[in-house]
Structure 1
Amino acid sequence: MPMLFRKDFKKMPRWDFDDVYIQDAQPVHTTCAQSLRKSEDESFTKAFIPNIRLFMYKGDINISEWNRLSHFNNPFGFMQANYSEMKPILDLIPKAQEPLLPPKTEGDGCVRCAVVGTAGILYGSGKGKEIDAHDYVFRMNGAVITGFEDDVGDRTSVYVHTAHSITASPYFFKKYGFKEIPHDEGIKYVMIPEGMRDYQWLEGLLTSNRVSRGQYHNIRPVTYYAGKFNESRFYVLHPDFLRYVRNRFLLSRRLNSSNWAIVRPTNGAFAIFLALHTCDVVNIYGFITEDYKKYPNYYAHRDFKSRVVFYANHDHILEMKTWKKLHDNKIISLYQRLDSGGDLANNTTRN
């Protein structure tokens, strides 16, 4: 089909098949009595697709799928991309181990996960041991750990990133002690294919070469994974999953503006919804709450002078309301505090 261009649309285009997604044959079976999949909240169960395809693998994208996905801008599809350039890269993506997070061999069959953001609300929280007590811990972006273990824990099971976040975080957080991304034994790396630079990154990573062109030209991506890169534990989120998260849970009004093409959920938001589709119990820490003005921008900031910064490409207020709604409806537990020096407000960690 003819290539579509973002500039030709004054707001996000909607298609008859906009809310159609690739799904796996069967939902993940769980024996967990407390599983969020057993929620009776009508708004959540109506939107939630338990067997949505999470990851993209080589062989997934044939010409028919390309034509469908080329109607959507990145990272939700391949609008404005060239099939002959992209196809060889897509066919490099390995099929990693699934499920992403298997139940522990002992216990009640529940997979309990903590998703840890970087918000300043965690500074001085003392939540480190509680976070580390989960079966699995998700982190993303500038996940500074050294020196902050009491507040954020020190375990990482899943690290969610883009090419930009994995390269920029050591630069922006170096002065706070961030030298490299988490590299726990057996860690699983999940990549959000944000745009063409991410696919160029993937090409270099999956061929163990330097990036041959684009923003990261001559960089060797494998060096950023602290020696823990393993194809069997490396995952690339499927554009359908990313679009599903946006369409059904985080559909911003900003998509009706001329700047629609840059608007997308945060990396942390995608990590939360990945956890919702791979865990039974999800507790989130370090995400924006209604009293965000009381806290510094990042927990790595050792004072409260650095205020929360909102960027045009993310709808932070919509995400804030979404986390609160999911918390109030007992889908997740959102860590909240009374004040800048207080403890929990109405937070109750799900067990």
Structure 2
Amino acid sequence: MDMFPLLSDILENSPQVKTRASVSQHLSQLAETFDEYFPEDPRNGHMWILDPFSVDPTDNDVALPSHLESQLLEVSTDSTLKLQWGELELGSFWIAVSKEYPCLALRAVKLLLPFTTTHLCESGFSTVATTKTKARNRLRATLEATLRTPMPVLSRKSFKKLPEWDFEDIYNQDAPPRQTTCAKSLRNSQDESFKKAFLPNIRLFMHKINMSEWNRLSHFNNPFGFMEFNHDEVMAGAKLIPKPNEPLLLPKPGSDRCMSCAVVGMGGILNGSKMGKEIDAHDYVFRMNGAITKGFEEDVGNRTSVYVHTAHSITASQYLLRKYEYKSIPDDEGIKYVMIPEGMRDFNWMEGLFKNQRVTAGQYKNKRPWTYYAEQYNETRFYVLHQDFLRYVRNRFLKSPHLNDPHWAIVRPTNGAFTLFLALHTCDTVS
């Protein structure tokens, strides 16, 4: 009864003694049941969930690994999130946090789930108060400065095979994708193994990298992360990547509610197939690398909706495919360009492209990137695949046994494979 002083005072002065005994017995039984489900005090090490803005991430009572301590520090200094924290209920706040800090938010939500309401959780936590002294504030300022710097650069040579971290299979995810009424949509698959592996709202594209994200992704080799890369050199191009204003593709009117896509490779298997009309009949057509169509329209079609490439593929195609009279990449009006950031040269390329200037460093120094896009380049139609998406494709669908070999760092899915999975996460049906 000591937890409810107002109720205790009312019952103390009430002649209805039986009521007091009944309430007291019920609360005692409730406490016993709570102890049965939670033998350890759930508050221990988790006060940061209730108020991430007044808890020192490095305190002993904050039970978080180092990479989540860094994310908690990022959250605690985010003024926008602090405003949301004052306006949203606890559960809603952590759902909002999940957009930028999925690993930290997942840890918080897992602890909140056993409670039937956020009110009960907050009431349970409210008995513990957190105090901050001037000395702790000075320490926090020092820690903030430290954790806002890039982690030490990891070398691929330090690992004899693919290193696997405890956050290897955790990925950024966006808001749920569009609802589809297409009965044939891949999202409606009943295959249990596929449903377990498939993440319909995996983040497809890059647009913002804070220091916490940089440090997390620096544990993975390219193109799956930033291992061995210099932060400032990458960010010179990465910070210019525009945030997508709309989904890569939208359903077309009159397409029987199903968005159909064709993915066309370059292996030559279509030569003589006469499938051009069938390919072009799809709502959208994906191509990659050289993407030759001129002179082969009867076999491969002539439409291109999405062109996937790297800096290497878009430049090398001009001389590797010269014997096929290849001139440039597809130039369809409104075409969407998707880049795979496979190496440092791609970020150098993007810096020149977004600034409309010659590349200033690396393999393509002095090249003019915008001239390679057949006069169709438009920043609003340019997308860069996210490292989490690339790693997800490898880890869940195309994990090679050669990742356990000494040359693991050069093993990755092809550009064609990444294009196929991009289509699978964008369209209802894919051919």
Aligned residue identity for 2:426: T
The equivalent of 2:424 in structure 1 is 276
Q: Give the 5 Å matches for 1:252-331.
A: 252-283=400-431
CA contact (8 A) 2:261 2:285 kept: yes
Instruction: Establish whether residue 161 from structure 1 lines up as the match of residue 328 from structure 2.
Output: no
Q: Give the 5 Å matches for 1:51-130.
A: 51-57=201-207, 60-130=208-278
User: Alpha-carbon deviation of 1:85?
Assistant: 2.1
Specify which of 327, 338, 341 is matched with residue 193 of structure 1: 341
Q: Which structure 2 segments of 5+ residues have no match?
A: 1-150
Normalized per residue, which structure has more helix?
2
* CA distance in structure 2 between the partners assigned to 1:22 and 1:241 by the alignment: 8
The equivalent of 1:206 in structure 2 is 354
Aligned residue identity for 2:383: Y
Aligned residue identity for 1:102: L
Aligned residue identity for 1:86: V
Relative to structure 2, which stretch is displaced further, 92-101 or 213-222? Answer: 92-101
Q: Which structure 1 segments of 5+ residues have no match?
A: 284-351
Show CA shifts across 1:91-128 (max 9, x none). 10012332111001223221100000011211100100
Q: Which of structures 1 and 2 has the bigger CA Rg?
A: 2
* CA distance in structure 1 between the partners assigned to 2:250 and 2:175 by the alignment: 18
* CA distance in structure 2 between the partners assigned to 1:63 and 1:96 by the alignment: 21
* CA distance in structure 2 between the partners assigned to 1:141 and 1:255 by the alignment: 25
CA contact (8 A) 1:161 1:191 kept: yes
* CA distance in structure 2 between the partners assigned to 1:164 and 1:220 by the alignment: 14
* CA distance in structure 2 between the partners assigned to 1:105 and 1:149 by the alignment: 26
The equivalent of 2:194 in structure 1 is 44
CA contact (8 A) 1:28 1:51 kept: no
The equivalent of 1:33 in structure 2 is 183
User: Alpha-carbon deviation of 1:84?
Assistant: 2.2
User: Alpha-carbon deviation of 1:208?
Assistant: 0.3
User: Alpha-carbon deviation of 1:170?
Assistant: 1.2
Instruction: Establish whether residue 178 from structure 1 lines up as the match of residue 326 from structure 2.
Output: yes
SS in structure 1 opposite 2:394?
A: helix
User: Alpha-carbon deviation of 1:174?
Assistant: 1.1
* CA distance in structure 1 between the partners assigned to 2:255 and 2:300 by the alignment: 25
Instruction: Establish whether residue 24 from structure 1 lines up as the match of residue 174 from structure 2.
Output: yes
SS in structure 2 opposite 1:202?
A: helix
CA contact (8 A) 2:264 2:285 kept: yes
CA contact (8 A) 1:139 1:156 kept: yes
* CA distance in structure 2 between the partners assigned to 1:273 and 1:28 by the alignment: 17
The equivalent of 1:221 in structure 2 is 369
SS in structure 1 opposite 2:417?
A: helix
Off by >3 Å, runs of 4+ in structure 1: none
Aligned residue identity for 1:251: K
Aligned residue identity for 1:34: K
CA contact (8 A) 1:31 1:108 kept: no
Show CA shifts across 1:123-157 (max 9, x none). 10010000000000000012111111110000000
Aligned residue identity for 1:146: K
Calculate the aligned-residue CA RMSD, in Å. Answer: 0.9
The equivalent of 1:139 in structure 2 is 287
The equivalent of 2:39 in structure 1 is none
Q: Give percent identity, aligned residues only.
A: 70
CA contact (8 A) 2:307 2:337 kept: yes
* CA distance in structure 1 between the partners assigned to 2:415 and 2:255 by the alignment: 31
The equivalent of 2:160 in structure 1 is 10
CA contact (8 A) 1:156 1:184 kept: yes
Aligned residue identity for 2:282: H
CA contact (8 A) 1:30 1:109 kept: yes
Relative to structure 2, which stretch is displaced further, 30-39 or 188-197? Answer: 30-39
SS in structure 2 opposite 1:138?
A: strand
Aligned residue identity for 1:172: L
Show CA shifts across 1:265-288 (max 9, x none). 0000000000000000000xxxxx
Instruction: Establish whether residue 250 from structure 1 lines up as the match of residue 394 from structure 2.
Output: no
CA contact (8 A) 2:255 2:283 kept: no
User: Alpha-carbon deviation of 1:237?
Assistant: 0.2
